[in-house]
Structure formats: C-alpha cells, structure tokens
Structure 1
C-alpha cells in the first residue's frame, strides 16, 4: 500500500509542472470532413466521377491561445488537409505563431492564408467555396496562384508575415509580406528562381481593406486590394523575360434580410508564368494540371491568364435563405488578352445554380450544377464542361 501511495505522490509531482504550464493556455481541436459525389464532364475527356474531396475542404488542426494580460494574447495554429475517399497523405495548410492585441490587431508569422482568399472577397463571398461548384480558384473565375497569393482553395503563402487590424468605425485592413529569399532553399522551386521569392528575390506583398456597415436590415461590405509578385534577380539573370505581376481587386456584398447580392472584379497585369496568375494550384485544378489541360479529366484551369499577359476576371451572384436552406445562383467570366505572336486570347464563362441545406450548426448538405464555356485560341478544341455535385460537410 505504501509503495502505491509513494508512486501516486511521485506521479503527481511529475505531472504538476505540466498542469501549471497549461494553465492560461487554451488548445482547441477543430476540423471539417467533406465528401462529394461529383461529376466533371469535360469535352474531349468524357465524364469523370468520384466520391472525393478534391476541393480541399477536409482538414483538422489545433488552435492555441494564451492570455498574456494587459490586452495581449499569444496565438498559434497548426492545420493539415486530407482527402476522404482518395487515401492521400496529409498536406500542410496554415501553420503559424502570432501575437494579438485588443487595440492594434494581430500579427502572424509562418505559413498563412492570403488576404485575397479569406479577408477581401475570395472565399468570403462565395457560398460554394471549397466545393466543385466554386467561383474561386482556377476552376472558377478567380486567380489561384501557385505562390499562394491568389484565392484558390489551397492558397497558402510560405515564409510570410501577415497583419490584420481591428475593426475601427467599420474599417479594417490586412497586409501580407513575403521575404525575397523565401524559396531560396527549395530545391525545386527555389534554385532556378521560380515562384514568389526565390534566390536573390524581391519582397512580395499583398494589402487589402474593407468597410462594413449595418443600417437596419441593410448590411454591406465594400472591399479592395492590391497584390504584387516581384520578379527576382535570379529569374532575370537566367534570361527570363518576365515583368512584375500586379493584381487589383474590388467588390462588394450587400444583404437585406435573407437576400444577399455580391460581386467581385480583378485586373491582372503581367501574369507571372512561374507561380503567378498564369498558373494554378493543384487543389484549385481538381487534379494534376498542365496549363489548360489536365491529366485526369477532372482539372479546371481554364481561367489562368496567358504567361506574362494581362486580363480581367469578374463574378456576381445572389442567394436567398428560406429557413435552413440557401438557394444560390452565380456566374462570371474571365478574359485573357492575346499576346501578339505569342498567345491567343482566352475567354471563360460560367453559371452555377445550387442549394445548401443546414442539418444543424455543424452539418450540411449541398448540391448543384455548373456550366462552363471556354473559348481558348491556344487550343485546338475548347474544353467546355458540365459539373454536377452532391455532397455533405461536417464541422467539429
């Protein structure tokens, strides 16, 4: 009996520092699981159907917060994505550590999301974000840069600092800075100067702001932003004829009771072919993508700009909520200007109609149809497509 008591006392003494260290720190386990029965029927490839989560919605992670007193808090986030039904390995999503203050906002260091994705437009105005019916990413009508600066489903920026301001009189802003040598140590994307950053690179950045207000039953958000992916000295030394990529964005979301109307416009100048708006992420493409063509027939990369070219993208939509059911209709287009003697013009248009039904605060069903028309002068045959999807999502 004495030996048991001694063992319990020793175990308690050893455990005490661990408990003390945990006091004041809150760790939250969170995640989402989603699967879609989706068919992507692309001209020339036929219908490709799967029960998967190619839109990169499923994830799990840890959110850490500690109250430091005097209005300060320490924060951290580790998040990984997976694909139910595909048996693939986990992929890194957000991974950062940060500091927040009630008066001045939050600053994060590490792998973060682009403000163009989760702050000003992007996923914030698309009810079908993270599904095969999305308006974001190269599958839809928003840029999905390989460097993570875009609004794609898997847009994350490595080696970055991000600042989010507090809301002051309806105004707020977000800014992201990526050091020029961020990809220097990447043997694939850094050695030859490709992608944002790169060896002997320039500092790349993104800034966005918005104004939110509520007047009785009328609410609105007006947002805008600017993104710049500078060409590195390494890329110039290799003889790459590439200019600094710039993207301007503006848009608004207006709500009245259960009705919402939204729209977004982007102009792309000098689309960077080595990681910018002329490319798209694998997640946004729904598979392995090569330009406007994919290897498995499920990819959607038609909204990418011509390399080192200009173009614009816009989307608009409306949704109406009846009880626990939201009815959604949206559409838009992409236009890539031609480059004389290099590449032809490209036009992509789409319309989407669907429904989202909430079973509870954590579970929902969704489904719909998307039609895409492609007029690409760079292809022998245009890759028009029809997308049908029915899926389920659960948050935990």
Structure 2
C-alpha cells in the first residue's frame, strides 16, 4: 500500500510539472544567410563581397501563461554578419529586437523596449525590399529607405500597443520616450498605423513623427552624440540621397499601401511621403555639412511590385520604384528610378536559394547640393548617375 501511495504521489508531481512546463516556453530561432554580392560602382570601383540578402540573426522568444487569457512575452534578437561573425546594428548585442510585455486575445498586446514601429507592421509587406528583394542587404528599398519601410531604423525606448484582430482590422500605436532630463519631447517618436485583411485583399496605412531624427532613430544607440550614421554605419543618414538633411528638427512619414492575391500572383502597391522638417535646427556631427536655414525637404515615393509562384517551390518577382525629392531652401530637386528583379527556389520549408538584381538611376541635385548619383540603401554611393548590383546565395531558417 505504501509503495502504491508513493508511486501515485510521484505520478501526480510529474503531471503537475508537465502542466507547469506547458504554461511557459522559450524558443530559439534564427536565419543563417550567405550570398555573393556584386556592385558595379562603389565610389567608382567594382565590389565583390560575401554578404546576406536576408539579415543573419538569432533570437529567443518566450511566453508564460498567466491565466485568464493573459500571457507574459519577451523577444531578444541579435543581428550578425555571417562572413565575419561581427555584430550588426552598430555593435548592439540585441540590436534587431529587445522587448518584454503582456498579450491578451481580448485586449491586445503591450510591449516595451527596442522594436519595430507600428508603421512597419502595417505596410512593410507591400514593399519588395522588405519582402523578397534582399531585405537584409537593403538594396531593394525606395531611395535610401527614406520612408523606413525596410526598418533601417528600429525604434528604441518604445512603448507599443497592438490591438486584437477585429474582423480583419488591427490598430497599432507606439511612443518612444526621448530620455532627456528636462526635455520631455526631445528625440521622441510618435507612431500609429491601421491594417485590414479580407481574403485576398490586404491594406495598411501609417503615420510617424520623430523629433531630432538624427539622434532619435538614425543613431543605433539612442541619444548618442555621434550616431553610427555619421560614420556610414548600419543606417542611411550617410546616404547622399538625404544625408544633407541631417540637421532636420523633425521627420514626418506617411505611408499607405495594399496587395491583392490573384491565383498564384500577388500584386502590391505602396506610396510614401517623407518630410525632413525645420532644417538647420540640429547639430549633426559628421554629416555632409550642407547648410540649410529652415525649410522642409519632401520625398514622394511610389512602388509597384508583383511576385508569381511558377511552382510551389519556385517564385519569380519584379518591382519598379520611383522617388522624387522636391528639394529645400533653394537647393534643387532629384529623381530616382529603381528596378528589382528576383527569384527564390525553396529546397525545403527551411532552406532556399535566391538570386536578386537591382538597378537604380538618378537625376537632378541631391540633398548635398551636388549632382545626384545612384545610391543603394546599405551601400556606398556610385560615382555617376546609375548603379547595378546582384546577389546570389542561400538562406537557412532554424
């Protein structure tokens, strides 16, 4: 009898342990991506390098069931360079994501930390550069990723709320604290977005307003006196396309887009309006030094892209992107045209081969007051008005 009672107790404890274990989980995930990149003109020279079309990363995400439909969640995600093993995002250990929060199917999700904007959640799927055209490399975005749809800049020190999905409708809002004593609004970010999905139709729109963008978002480490962008780091304030606007007191981005699935094809449209406002207000260390005495520089970008599944394993895709910079403070305007072309072949659910090509042309006068040159996001600018690049490689997800 004593043996039977002891055995029953052990079994009961084991069952309870199993139930407790089922209530919380931690998952390791990531991407290892390696490709051979060719760029025909990097400041006048050809470039051959080992690169990644889809940013290599690893992360941990976890959830704990708190009861009543409420869960505690966290995500920490590191970006790394496959060829050298170096950290990405300016050397941050968890530069891609680092947040903790609570989620409920009834009330939505609140998270705190370094994370993607609500704008990105609602509109990135409509952009070829954030979808299939080498999102990690950055070459496939609208000019310089000027609208941040490809998340060249994460939002740090952020409080974010995402609503539950209500009949296909989802709303997201985000606020980033500037963290400056006595200057509550300095470096702050305000962001809001809405998306709607109904069968083959998906649409989204967003609004983002950033104070002191040179420090608030273009620097990988918030409030730094010398953001990585000043030295041409992982983001694009070193870009000729808009690097001359580093002194902007604020930045406003409005984005809208949609996609439609028609059989094996997905057709997407994206429009964005980006304004660098109150030029000349911020001391931008290491910028191009273009002197603006006020005014606003406005970029209007449009994109049309199509991807088509020839077979369950083989997808081909193409995109056209147009961007117009209207100029500011008497300095002329510039136009950028870009074409992306790509194909992906899935060897399995986790492993695929890819080949993607990019071509950009430029005309007019850019943000630095000089003749506009082609300048892929994530690359150094061309010595002339066009730039051609291609990458072939392999992606493995785990």
TM value normalised by structure 1: 0.73
The aligned residue for residue 370 of structure 2 is: 379
1:155: Cα distance to partner? 2.6
Q: How does 1:207-222 map to 2 (within 5 A)?
A: 207-214=192-199, 219-222=200-203
- The structural deviation recorded for 1:104 is 1.5
Conservation of the 8 A alpha-carbon contact between 2:127 and 2:141: no
Residues 1:27 and 2:41 are matched in the alignment: no
SS of residue in 2 equivalent to 1:121: helix
- Which residue, 108, 114, 119 being the options, matches 1:111? 114
| Alignment check: 8 A CA contact 1:122 1:136 kept | no
Partner of 1:204: 189
Matched with 1:391 is 393
CA RMSD, 1 decimal: 3.4
Cross-structure match for 1:315? 303
> How many residue pairs end up in the alignment?
324
Change (3 A) 1:167 1:267: same
Deviation digits for residues 41-92 of structure 1, max 9, x if unmatched? 2274221110122x56110011010111111000001110100113423542
Partner of residue 261 from structure 2, selected from 249, 255, 259: 255
- CA-to-partner distance for each residue in 1:124-166, whole Å, 9 max, x for gaps? 5422242447533654xx425xxxxx22344311100111111
Contact 1:135 1:331 in 2 (8 A): no
What residue is the counterpart of 2:39 in the other structure? Answer: 40
From the superposition, tell whether residues 42 and 200 of structure 1 become closer, same or farther in structure 2 (CA, over 3 Å): same
Residue 231 (structure 1) shift: 5.0
SS class of match (2:166): coil
Aligned to 1:76: 74
Distance change in 2, residues 1:72/1:333 (3 Å): same
**Which deviates the most, 106-115 or 44-53?**
44-53
In the superposition, relative to structure 1, how do residues 78 and 275 fare at CA in structure 2: closer, same or farther (>3 Å)?
Answer: farther
- Shift in alpha-carbon separation, 1:241–1:113, aligned structure 2, 3 A: closer
Q: 2:342 aligns with which of 344, 351, 354?
A: 354
Q: C-alpha distance in 2, partners of 1:260/1:327?
A: 11
Q: Is the 8 A contact 2:160 2:172 kept in 1?
A: yes
CA-to-aligned-CA distance 1:312-332 (integer Å, 9 cap, x gap): 111110111022111101011
Per the alignment, residue 284 of structure 1 pairs with none
Output aligned runs, 1:1-396, within 5 Å.
24-42=23-41, 44-53=43-52, 57-89=55-87, 91=92, 92-117=95-120, 119-123=121-125, 125-126=127-128, 127-132=132-137, 134-136=139-141, 138-139=143-144, 142-143=145-146, 150-179=148-177, 181-182=178-179, 184=180, 201=186, 203-214=188-199, 219-230=200-211, 242-271=248-277, 308-323=296-311, 324-341=313-330, 343-377=331-365, 378-380=369-371, 382=373, 383=382, 384-396=386-398
* Aligned twin of 1:286: none
* Kept in 1: contact 2:126–2:257 (CA 8 A): no
Partners of 1:275 and 1:353 lie apart in 2 by 40
Change (3 A) 1:241 1:24: closer
Q: Distance in 1 between matches of 2:349 and 2:279?
A: 42
The CA distance in 2 between the partners of 1:290 and 1:355, in whole Å, is 37
| Alpha-carbon distance, 1:34 to partner | 0.5
Conserved in 2, the CA contact under 8 Å of 1:252 and 1:263?
yes
In structure 2, relative to structure 1, the CA distance for the partners of 1:88 and 1:202 (3 Å cut) is: closer
**What is the alpha-carbon distance in structure 1 between the residues aligned to residue 247 and residue 274 of structure 2?**
17
Contact persistence 1:178–1:204 (CA under 8 A): yes
> Structure 2 unaligned runs (5+)?
1-16, 217-245, 374-381
Distance 1:275 1:210, change over 3 A: farther
Could you tell me how far apart the structure 2 residues matched to 1:261 and 1:48 are?
Answer: 33
Q: 1:261 deviation in Å?
A: 0.4
* Distance (Å, rounded) in 1 between the aligned partners of 2:96 and 2:281: 18
- Would the alpha carbon gap of residues 44 and 79 (structure 1) be closer, same or farther in structure 2, given more than 3 Å must change? closer
CA distance in 1, matches of 2:392, 2:258: 28
Is residue 114–residue 151 contact of structure 1 (8 Å, CA) maintained in 2? no
How far apart are residue 272 of structure 1 and its match? 7.1
What stretches of structure 1 of length at least 5 have no aligned partner? 1-17, 145-149, 186-192, 280-288, 293-305
8 Å CA contact 2:139–2:358 kept in 1: the answer is: no
Name the counterpart of 1:6: none
What SS class does the counterpart of residue 270 from structure 1 fall into? strand
